[in-house]
Amino acid sequence: MNTNHIHNYRATIAYDGTAYAGWQIQPNGLAVQEVIERSLAHLNGAPVKLHGSGRTDRGVHARAQSANFTLGRRWIPVDLQRALNAVLPSDIRILKLTGTRTDFHARRSAVAKEYRYLIWNDEIMPPHLRLYRAHVRRPLDVAAMQLAAARLIGCHDFAAFSANPNRPVESTVRTLARLLVRRRGHDITIVARGNGFLYKMVRSLAGLLIRVGSGEVAPAKVKDILATRIRTAVVPTAPPQGLFLWQVFYRG
């Protein structure tokens, strides 16, 4: 193949994950990646492989998923962006599309990702938020959650915060550069930024912090949970609808 005629494009994608089985193509449901690849193939006249920065699970949303793909013909990026948004369903949007260097890869070139987990902490959930917040009725102690979060920042073996991905994992060591808990009214936001995340790791971090906030687990127990390196019922997986892939970071 003559690589002089291959053009690499980088896209920033937002999607509502409610109707999808996740980002990655899979046999048990329609995936966001599949929908975009079909739209690209329609415009390109041939199959196109879309490379995402990472996977999101069923029901999880993205404010800024990053992806790249190559085409054998040159498009003006803004024209391609408009054409894609014209054929994509309304719950998937290409927010930005640019040409990029040939060696850019959305996953391998990424240096960090940020996820945000959103919680509605009140007796009654406003209906318009039900697909975009986890609902926790019991009052949460945000100060206790912040103490626990501080103990999770840094380089650790997060095996106790990972579900079985049913695929080989080279290492369960990850570095959390930031883990913040903020409250604004009934909204509580957990911000997790790191160099990479294990399968269901962010939802597991959120699940534990919710238990800490409700008084079921003391903040000081976090170090003991990390040290076990074994997933137990002490660390629940929080519901998917509260989770957003918020931003992907690259050098330069």
Q: Residue 236 has which token pair?
A: 């629940």
H or E stretch covering 245: strand 243-250
Q: Which long-range contacts (CB under 8 A, 24 or more apart) does 28-37 make?
A: 29/58, 32/56, 32/62, 32/65, 32/92, 35/88, 35/89, 35/92, 36/67, 36/84, 36/88, 36/92
Question: How far is the C-alpha of 251 from the C-alpha of 31, rounded, in Å?
Answer: 29
CB atoms within 10 A of CB 17: 27
Beta bridge partners of 52: 67
Do 47 and 229 touch, CB atoms closer than 8 A?
A: no
**Marked catalytic residue, from 16, 57, 91, 187:** 57
Mark whether 57 is an active-site residue: yes
Question: How far is the C-alpha of 135 from the C-alpha of 122, rounded, in Å?
Answer: 8
Task: Please report, as a single letter, which amino acid is at residue 45.
Answer: G
The rounded distance, in Å, linking the Cα atoms of 161 and 151 is: 14
Q: d(Cα 20, Cα 55) in Å, to the nearest integer?
A: 12
Q: Catalytic site residues?
A: 57
